[in-house]
Structure 1
Amino acid sequence: MFDITIVGAGVVGCSIARELARYKLKVCVIDKDSDVANGTTKANSAIVHAGFDAKPESLKGKLNAKGNSMFDKLAEELDFPFKRNGSLVLCFNKNDVDKLNDLKKQGERNGVPGLEIIEGDKLREMEPNVSDEVVAALHASTGAIVCPYEMTIALAENAFTNGVDFKFETEVKAIDKIEDIYVLRTNKGDIETKIVVNASGVFADEINNMISNNKINIVARKGEYCLFDKSVGNMISKTVFQLPTKMGKGILVTPTVDGNLLIGPNAIDTEDKNDLNTSSEGINDIISKAGLSIKQVPMRQVITSFSGLRAHSVENDFIIGEQQDAENFINAAGIESPGLSSAPAIAEMVVDIIVNKLNPSKNEKFNPIRKGIPKFRELNNEERKKLIQQDSRYGKIICRCETVTEGEIINAIRRPLGARTLDGVKRRTRSGMGRCQAGFCAPKIVEILARELNLMPTEVTKFGGESKLLVGKDKETI
């Protein structure tokens, strides 16, 4: 039996797991998918918002700026990509400058430092490629960018090495409460636990509604994106927003921590919580709107489009806390933007509730440090030579677009909570994320996965389950 079982291995669930690892508790994280960060976390804007958007009285307003301020230490301890590049909210009409001032005042109430309204020459010096139609902007120096799945993998690895258990491809079918114990009925058997933390993204309402009469409703809000080649990644340096609407923060244009350019998302509510399709209408819409922010959208440099789902609550705020009619059942639900930015603060809030209930002792052996996979593409020649001397497989390039070596891929597979799928390797190493989108490297990565995991190549999957890449053989070569 576990003290705490967290349902959902996204950035929020793994943030909570890592914080709980600081205590002498028996903790488990379960997820219906084959890896961490397979839901909302894997496909979003990768923005660490400064915190001026949300109303001060909301949980979003209270947790965003606090969470933002925690990223520097987290990135240093866990070795994931993070950059404070700053952000701009663009205004295209002098009559709307008051709205920028309102955002600034709201941000200051939320505890956001360093906000300023800029215009004219100062704006053009800061960001030369913004549209000529822009008349002013709100500059937030604490705005940042991050790799959300690398961050989540880092959190999970650190939680795991500090004693947290992880169970994948484990789907909750029902929840019963027998006296003071929750029994999670899963496809892989029953899990008994004193406390349940519901961090299951767009499915959080379904988990909550299995046990509580206080029903919640989560709407899957789809956002589509275009990703551009690194050759245009320096077109802008800051994350560029447009004045927000009731549907969200509008279309943004941003560099990524890996050097690409990203535009999106739109906002389309969908009843299908597995709908990750993109449409020509949606992509054309975000391209058109992005053209309002920058002088030219470099369409010839698009390398892929994708979509992600946000867990929008009808209350339009985070739902965090113990359910009144289900003692020891704690929600971390409705975690849409700025959920990624707020995740460290959400984790602290949830863990405070648990600590007050269980009064556990501190885990004196807790080690906050995690070291990531060496990135061959980022090393200088001397560092590369030294790495190859230690392991010759770091001298063999597998993914040419992103300069990923066989040594990195093997590291990704063998490390704690290592990759078991093609997507798992991709998110840990960036293999397959370049111009050719895995056209050249995928067969070799399948071969490495099969060898390292002692599988037949036909058993290797893209993202678990039945997502097999090979269905047979036409020659006796496998």
Structure 2
Amino acid sequence: MFDIAIIGAGITGSAIARNLSRYNLKTVVLEKGVEVCQGTTKANSAIVHGGFDAYEGSLKAKLNVLGNSLYPSLCKDLNVEFKQNGSLVLAFDDKDLYHIKDLYERGLKNGASGLEIIDGNKVKEIEPNVSENVVGALLCKSAGIVCPFNLNVALMENAIDNGVTLNLQSEVIDIKKVVSDNEEYFEIKTVNGVIKSKYVINASGVYSDKINKLIGGDEFYIIPRKGEYKILDKIEGNKAVHTLFTCPTEKGKGILVTKTVHGNLLVGPNATQVDLEDITTTKSGLREIMDKSLKSVQNIDFSKTITSFAGIRATPNTGDFIIFESEKSKGFINVAGIESPGLASAPGIAVYVEGILKDIFARDNNSLELNANFNPIRIKDKPFSQMTNDERISAAEKNPKHKTIICRCENVTEGEIVDAINRPCGARTVDGVKRRVRPGMGRCQGGFCGPKVVEIIARELNISVEDVLKDYEGSNMVVGKVKELRGETVEI
């Protein structure tokens, strides 16, 4: 019997799990994927928003500002790179100027920090590549950028180190509330068996309305909305110092242009209502984000694009984050509709859910006892690509596998890949390794390092290369030997 079952191991579920590991609770996280970070978290803008966009009084506003304030210390504890590069909402005419003034005043009411309206000359001074047509901007110095993959993994790693159980490939297919004379608990039926838990937290992203329906809930529904992106080579990364936004619309914050924490240039997203599983990129969608991004920065060289991708946002029909204990089934907490600024808000959401649980425990005459052994610090070596020459020599002396460079584009060693596989919450797929330590993130997109990564995964997990997955179940990297597939006899 678990005390807490969290459904979903994206950034929200992982942040909640890590926060709850501060207490003496038996907590399990149920994730349907082969890896953590296979949903919305792996395909978003990676922006830690300042908190000026959401309407005053909304959960989005409250938790965005709280989450933003927690990021510097959280990322320091978890050894995750976070850069507070600031953001600019650009204005190109009088209508835009009026809009950014409204955002500024809203931000002040929300409690966002580092806000300032600047004129066009100042914008061009701090952003040399910005469009000549800019007439002003809202500057938010507290905004930043982070690697969402590494943060997601780090949160779950730290949660596991502090006693949380992670069950992968455990899709939830039914939930029943069991009420007996002595106790009440939930029976959670997964594809791998039944889990019993006193309380349940539904953090299942675009599937959260479907999970809520399993306990009879019908208070909300999720609108899947696809956003497409382009990532450009690092030689284009200097085109933006801050994260550059155009004025937002009812569908989102508009097309952004930003440097990533790793130095690439990221452009996107658009917004298209789609089916749950549609993460395809389209010619028209990519053309849209290219055309609109050129309004902000006119000299982007899209011939330097190295990849494109799409992600699904869990847009709620309510217009705000949905976080509450169900009236239909006490002890079941919905954490749903976590669209932008969900990444920025995740640490704040974890604190908010922790408060709800404290109230529930008090109501049920229980208490949350602190875990005296809780350790907030996650130890991880500096990436080989960021080491000095002396540090590389020292690392190779300690671990000879650092002498072998697997990914030349990103300077990733065999030692880093082996570590990524064998850490708590270790990588199980090629894309899982890619998200953690970046082989395949460079110009060749895995063209040279991909086969070697497959071999290392197979060796470390003690499986055949035919069983190594790219990302999801069924995405096998190798389907057989060429001669066998041709129907030829293979001599052994």
The answer to whether the Cα contact below 8 Å between 2:120 and 2:137 also exists between their aligned partners in 1 is no
The answer to whether the Cα contact below 8 Å between 2:440 and 2:446 also exists between their aligned partners in 1 is yes
Q: Secondary structure at the match of 2:330?
A: strand
Give the Cα–Cα distance (whole angstroms) in 2 for the partners of residues 375 and 62 of structure 1: 34
Deviation at 1:215, TM superposition (A): 3.5
For 1:412, the aligned partner's letter is: A
TM-score (normalised: structure 2): 0.95
Match of 1:443 in 2: 451
The answer to whether the Cα contact below 8 Å between 2:255 and 2:292 also exists between their aligned partners in 1 is yes
Q: Secondary structure at the match of 1:274?
A: coil
Deviation at 1:234, TM superposition (A): 1.0
TM-score (normalised: structure 1): 0.98
The answer to whether the Cα contact below 8 Å between 1:311 and 1:334 also exists between their aligned partners in 2 is yes
The answer to whether the Cα contact below 8 Å between 1:373 and 1:411 also exists between their aligned partners in 2 is no
Q: Deviations over 1:249-277 (max 9, x none)?
A: 0000000000000000000011x211100
The answer to whether the Cα contact below 8 Å between 1:214 and 1:323 also exists between their aligned partners in 2 is no
The answer to whether the Cα contact below 8 Å between 1:154 and 1:372 also exists between their aligned partners in 2 is no
Residues 186-335 of structure 1 aligned to structure 2 (within 5 Å)? 186-270=190-274, 272-335=275-338
Q: Secondary structure at the match of 1:257?
A: coil
Deviation at 1:373, TM superposition (A): 4.3
Q: Deviations over 1:125-144 (max 9, x none)?
A: 11011111111100000010
Residues 335-414 of structure 1 aligned to structure 2 (within 5 Å)? 335-358=338-361, 359-414=367-422
Q: Secondary structure at the match of 1:70?
A: helix
Q: Deviations over 1:427-475 (max 9, x none)?
A: 1101101001111111001111111111111111111421101111136
The answer to whether the Cα contact below 8 Å between 2:217 and 2:326 also exists between their aligned partners in 1 is no
Give the Cα–Cα distance (whole angstroms) in 2 for the partners of residues 234 and 471 of structure 1: 41
Any unmatched runs of 5+ in structure 2? 362-366, 484-489
Deviation at 1:31, TM superposition (A): 0.7
Deviation at 1:175, TM superposition (A): 0.8
Give the Cα–Cα distance (whole angstroms) in 2 for the partners of residues 326 and 155 of structure 1: 28
The answer to whether the Cα contact below 8 Å between 1:224 and 1:308 also exists between their aligned partners in 2 is yes
Q: Secondary structure at the match of 1:234?
A: helix
Q: Secondary structure at the match of 1:353?
A: helix
Q: Secondary structure at the match of 1:100?
A: helix
Match of 2:442 in 1: 434
Percent identical residues: 50
- The question of 1:456 aligning with 2:459 is answered no
Give the Cα–Cα distance (whole angstroms) in 2 for the partners of residues 380 and 356 of structure 1: 50
Deviation at 1:477, TM superposition (A): 10
Deviation at 1:121, TM superposition (A): 2.3
Aligned pair count reads 477
The answer to whether the Cα contact below 8 Å between 2:404 and 2:413 also exists between their aligned partners in 1 is yes
For 1:304, the aligned partner's letter is: T
For 1:229, the aligned partner's letter is: D
- The question of 1:466 aligning with 2:474 is answered yes
Q: Secondary structure at the match of 1:6?
A: strand
The answer to whether the Cα contact below 8 Å between 1:80 and 1:372 also exists between their aligned partners in 2 is no
Give the Cα–Cα distance (whole angstroms) in 2 for the partners of residues 477 and 302 of structure 1: 44
Match of 1:19 in 2: 19
Q: Give the RMSD, CA atoms, in angstroms.
A: 1.2
Moved more, 56-65 or 20-29: 56-65
Give the Cα–Cα distance (whole angstroms) in 1 for the partners of residues 224 and 18 of structure 2: 27
Q: Secondary structure at the match of 1:327?
A: coil
Change (3 A) 1:213 1:12: closer
Moved more, 362-371 or 92-101: 92-101
Deviation at 1:351, TM superposition (A): 1.1
The answer to whether the Cα contact below 8 Å between 1:209 and 1:216 also exists between their aligned partners in 2 is no
For 1:263, the aligned partner's letter is: V
Give the Cα–Cα distance (whole angstroms) in 2 for the partners of residues 426 and 110 of structure 1: 37
